[in-house]
Amino acid sequence: MLMGQGRATFIGCHFYYPEGPFVHKDLVDPGHPAIYTDRAGMTVSGCDFTGFNRNHIVLGSKSKSTIVSATRFLDGLQLAYQGYGKVETSGNIEDCGTLACRTYCHNACLTN
């Protein structure tokens, strides 16, 4: 959670939703996004978000400017935006993790 006055920058980070054999079987997931910010600006570039079944990024009502670019999202970017600041999301890659997504991506590649 980012609540300060400055800008936050994430470059080359890997956000992995905890799942798999190494996670304790009694783990309780509270449902938080990987990143929540409610102040100033934020840049996410060249990162990797894997295995999320919820919002990757949540921008609160006081968020001012956000850039999300050149980042890989399993099954596409999930961003919740509650504010009025500028948001730029470009050059991101949607990796297909589900069968429906893989079928869509395969069919899209065949038609392009």
- What values do phi and psi take at 37, rounded to 5? -135, 145
Beta carbons within 10 angstroms of residue 54's beta carbon: 13
Torsion, Cα of 30, 56, 83, 29 (10° steps): 0
Question: pTM, whole model, 2 decimals?
Answer: 0.75
pLDDT band (50, 70, 90) for residue 96: confident
pLDDT digits (tens, 9 = 90+) for 34-93: 888 888 889 999 999 987 778 899 999 888 899 999 999 988 899 999 888 899 999 999
Q: Which residue(s) pair with 37 in the sheet? A: 2, 59
Tokens for 76? 């596409």
CA distances in angstroms from 27 to 17, 22, 31, 105, listed in the order given = 12, 11, 12, 33
pLDDT value of position 16 = 82
